[in-house]
Chains A and B, each alone.
Chain A
Amino acid sequence: MPEEKDSTKSTDSHSKANGHEFRVIGVPRRRVDARAKVTGQTRFADDIFLPRMAHCKLLRSPHPHARIRKIDASRALACPGVYLVLTGKDLPIQYGILPVSQDEQALCVDHVRHVGDPVAAVIAREELTAFEALDLIDVEYEVLKTISNPEEALATPEPRIHEYGEEGNIHKLVALEFGNVEEGFAEADEIFEDSFFYQGNTHLPIEQHAAVAIKDPDGKLTIWSSTQTPHYLHRALAKVLEMPAAHIRVIATPNGGGFGGKSDPFNHEIVVAKAALVLDRPVKICLTREEVFYCHRGRHPVLMKFKTGVKKDGTITGMHLQTLIDGGAYGSYGVASTFYCGALQTTTYHIPRYRYEGCRTFTNKPPCGPKRGHGTPQPRFGQEVQLDKIAEKLKMDPADLRLGIVESSNAMTANFFRLGTVNLAECIRRVVQLSGWKEKFRKLPEGRGVGLACSAYLTGAGLPIYWNNMPHSGVQLKFDRSGGVTIFCGATEIGQGSDDVLAGIVAEVLGIDTFDVRLFTGDTDLGPVDLGSYSSRVTLMAGNAALQAAERGKALLAEAVAEKLAVPRERLRFADRRVFDSTAPEKSVTFQEAICLAEARFGTIGTVGSYTPPKSPALYKGGGVGPSPTYSYSAAVVEVEVNATTGWIAVPKIWIAHDIGRALNPPLARGQVEGSVYMGLGEALMEEQEFRRLPKRLSHALVHKFPSILEYKSPTSLDMPDVITELIEEPDPRGPFGAKEVGQGPLLPIMPAVANAVYDAVGVRIDEVPITPEKIMKALAEKKAGREPRFGPSHFPHVNWPEPLRVPPPWEGGDGNAVNDVARRAKPRPEKEKVLAS
């Protein structure tokens, strides 16, 4: 076999862990798609140009809330070069990512709910023609009262933004109680009540969303799109276009950044699909940056109230969390987000009794959804800042306090989440040591400070978006006589390295190089379903599926080689593109010969693997959000310098330790940590999705304050501090080669660590994100005036919370069901689709 290594890095170096020697796993490697990326050859959706391709532009509502009285597109249609105008009546079927919130239409039929909601589409020969023709569509609107924030939503039941939900403009109410939290407070030595506000922000992927659709020569539909979830888009297209899914092919092109922002099925994808079918020619759309801000699905703004009881030693006796969540104009993942806002508080520290109440309202703003950390960074910020306050009151070091209450491996939480390996204590000890915490905390000169915070995150959502009992990930492997192995999998490359994970695992098992592996991923026709690149699920789930498929192929090859070499199968080793007797390595065949032997013996060699997460013990209604095969843990120390004259915050250095289980490709794992730290720092200091009202003499509409990259501040290369990253590698048996997630968890501790560091530096609490110089100046002024040295929310509006579902925690004999709800243990699977988050 020719040594076609091209420019791939040699894998001469080995990694060792647990006595096993790996040739691929754990060895720093050039990722399989790196060459395409550095040569500009990666084909993103907007890089697709097809013959006869038409271009699509969307006409978007200038009003935040209005009825559509009339649409007249005749002038646009008469425009030379315009092929087609679509309006809501062409695509009336509602869709949405969650089965319980099918509340979107590709083009609004009679009701627009935020500035930017699309009402018509023009498809023309040229992009500019389509753009110019938008002005020729006459839309008559009847403007409705605008709901601009959750408090207004609570106070304004009419007009309703949607005709479904709890009541008025409340989309979702959640109330869960695990043990009697009042009893917990009665046992406490101290009770802490704190309010926090976490401003919304957006993903800002540098690639704008784009999609190209064609009617295939045989009449079927193919769409390429920058989507993180081709499988869910596939389902939405089938529903709205009323076509069998089998006649639709979705190809997720590599995403130029996703971060959760490309996880919903989008109106523009459905529109180009419809247009391609109508016109029988390729149709492309690429959103402008302004439109990307209107797609949004970003971080929900959340107002929070934490009440926490603690013993003198820091032990938590009970916690009560309330959240008020600004959902924006549509459901999106919002029901799941509402549960996520309360789900993971129990996974870091032992909380024996816990009550969560969450309320998501609709508002006339672009819809919020999942952004890196989905629903958990907001409460994590509150919880970790409150712990800092608790430590100070108890005169404890915040690191020591946390070390005393961290959860243990394999624990079951109060809300019935089964944890995997928990190395949070080690994470804390590492960052304390590396940062010189003990020499710095409360000891640095005025204006300089350090803060510490921790977090946990899912390694994949334990339940799918729609109810089914099938695997979450599937992999097919083809073993070719040439010696090559081809991986087919629905997993989607969004930059996180999912292709490299699959190739690395397969290459390790089979003893070949990742360069010997070909990948066909993110394609609903070519590969078995993978649910998508969200919830940090790909490494564990698609990885385990790949591992199973590779092991099955290896077994076939081993059987054939064992016979040929007359060596017991268990003595065979696969390494360096050979299969050999481990006791007499000269007795060997090449990997290619092994495939040929196996093919001669068994016929064509192809194997499959799949992964289904373990069943969750959280049986109560709502227990579908939060379970995961295992959780990652992070601890971070942030150092800040605060200028008391200007309020300016500089961050010279960050130390972070992440409990990853195993790093499959160390530079990529480190890159995920650093990228998370970066994004967390942006959220901590500057990123915010803000709105303003236009002047009365204009429309007085509620508009995005600055839908542009220039005004939406994000950290540049000049803002990025040094980051010391420590990967804690204790393999978790649930992950492939012990791997846990790394793409989201390390973002979570950054925001609270910055807030805690600011307090250490200048003695003011900023209980709100982002932490801007303006807020620091206001808090410093309060301090100077002898008032509470703090900036943050002071009240939580009244919400009519429902009676909570009461779930006795495991240590009170609970079985995972709510005592005041029907038992769900032996419940037969519902016939109709049902969202697990509801």
Chain B
Amino acid sequence: MATLSIESQKTSQIRFTLNGEEVDVSFAPYKTLLEVLREDLGHTGTKHGCELGECGACAVLLDGKAVLSCLVLALECDGRRVLTVEGLGEEGKLHPLQDAFADLGAAQCGYCTPAILVTAKALLDQNPHPNRDQIREALSGNLCRCTGYLQIFEAVEAAIVKIAGQNNSET
């Protein structure tokens, strides 16, 4: 009788907060957060371009900080908060970053987009008014082959204005 291959041995289990919801997941212990998100939790919004920490396409927010999910073992995430592109919008509405990316041509093929969106969110959460150089710096680990980055910078800047407007109207 054939033995189960290692991948089928879902011997590890964690509970963590994914996009605001608590989830339990079982998986093979060697799996990365990227793999568990995509393969075990069906969250395919997070992409991969190398699985070696080189391209930035798999970025997610772990406890609010942008990390490369291909370099994080899922086992490290027990009890922690993970935000992916699926959790960016709220109440059926797009996040201002998503709106701006959609309107200003910042997503062409859209493959690097989810990671860039969450990385930009992490930047704005920490610094609501970054300048162009700070935006460049924050996104320098996310490769985009389509846009030449400029429309991405402009979209982030447009979102900054929109978010500031929303915050002002709320207060």
Contact = CB atoms under 8 A, between A and B. Distances in A.
A47 B41 CA distance: 12
Interface stretch (B61-69, B71-79, B103-111, B161-169): B103-111
A258 B49 CA distance: 13
B49 A709 contact: yes
B23 interface: no
A41 to B, nearest CB: 7
B85 A40 contact: yes
Contacts of A816: none
B111 A7 contact: no
A202 to B, nearest CB: 11
B42 A49 contact: yes
B102 A716 contact: no
B107 A37 contact: yes
A30 B105 CA distance: 8
Interface in B133-150: 135-137, 139-150
Contacts of B105: 31, 667-668, 670-671
Contacts of A722: 150
Interface string A23-43: 000001011011111111111
Given A34-B103, A206-B112, A207-B109, A40 B145 contact: no
A111 to B, nearest CB: 30
B54 A709 contact: yes
B110 A33 contact: yes
B86 A81 contact: no
A720 interface: yes
A37 B106 CA distance: 10
B51 A30 contact: no
A671 B146 contact: yes
B150 A9 contact: no
A674 B150 contact: yes
Interface in B113-171: 113-114, 117, 135-137, 139-153
B45 interface: yes
A80 B109 contact: no
A704 to B, nearest CB: 15
Contact of A720 (B55, B93, B150): B150
Interface in A117-143: 124-129
B94 A7 contact: yes
B151 A679 contact: no
A302 to B, nearest CB: 22
A154 interface: no
B140 A718 contact: yes
Given A495-B108, A708-B50, A259 B8 contact: no
B85 to A, nearest CB: 4
A718 B137 contact: yes
A710 B54 contact: yes
B7 A126 contact: yes
Nearest to B39: A49
Interface in A487-525: 494-497
Interface in B79-109: 84-86, 88-89, 93-94, 97-99, 101-105, 107-109
A714 interface: yes
B11 interface: no
A677 B148 contact: yes
Interface in A667-704: 667-668, 670-671, 674-679
Interface in A206-247: 206-208
Contact of A40 (B5, B86, B141, B151): B86
Nearest to A29: B103
A9 B100 CA distance: 11
Interface in A39-61: 39-44, 46-47, 49
A125 B8 CA distance: 9
Contacts of B52: 289, 708-710
Nearest to B42: A49
Interface stretch (A158-166, A249-257, A265-273, A546-554): A249-257
B144 A206 contact: yes
Contacts of B88: 39
A257 B107 contact: no
B140 A39 contact: no
Contacts of A717: 135-137, 139-140, 142, 144, 149, 152-153
A310 B117 CA distance: 53
B51 A38 contact: no
A718 B7 contact: no
Interface residues of B, number: 64
Interface in A253-287: 254-259
B46 interface: yes
B113 A38 contact: yes
Nearest to B46: A40
A723 interface: yes
A288 B54 CA distance: 13
B110 A674 contact: no
A126 B104 CA distance: 41
A304 interface: no
A205 interface: yes
A28 B103 CA distance: 8
A324 interface: no
Contacts of B17: none
A284 B118 CA distance: 28
Interface in A345-367: none
Nearest to A81: B5
Contacts of A205: 109, 111, 145
Given A125-B8, A256-B111, A495-B110, A39 B147 contact: no
A204 interface: yes
Interface centre among B98, B137, B142 (most CB of A within 10 A): B98
B46 to A, nearest CB: 7
Nearest to B136: A717
B7 A30 contact: no
Q: Which 8 A-B pairs have the closest CB atoms?
A: A40-B45, A495-B109, A37-B110, A256-B111, A678-B148, A80-B2, A126-B7, A34-B102
Contacts of B48: 46, 208
A47 B141 CA distance: 23
B147 A671 contact: yes
A375 to B, nearest CB: 20
A280 to B, nearest CB: 20
A837 B51 CA distance: 39
Interface string A360-404: 000000000000000000000000000000000000000000000
29 contacts: A35-B102, A37-B101, A37-B113, A39-B45, A39-B94, A40-B85, A40-B86, A41-B45, A42-B110, A46-B44, A80-B2, A125-B8, A204-B145, A206-B57, A206-B143, A207-B49, A254-B110, A256-B47, A257-B145, A288-B51, A495-B111, A667-B105, A678-B147, A709-B55, A710-B52, A716-B141, A717-B140, A717-B142, A717-B152
A679 B89 contact: no
Nearest to A709: B54
A124 B8 CA distance: 12
A126 B8 CA distance: 8
A32 to B, nearest CB: 10
A347 to B, nearest CB: 25
Contacts of B85: 38-40
A45 to B, nearest CB: 11
Given A80-B5, A709-B143, A257 B109 contact: yes
B68 to A, nearest CB: 12
Nearest to B44: A47
B109 A256 contact: yes
A678 B151 contact: no
Contacts of A497: 108
A675 B107 CA distance: 11
Contacts of A208: 48-50
A205 B49 CA distance: 8
B149 A38 contact: no
Contacts of B114: 40
A256 B87 CA distance: 21
A354 to B, nearest CB: 34
Contacts of B145: 203-206, 257, 259, 675, 679, 714
Contact of B136 (A30, A81, A677, A718): A718
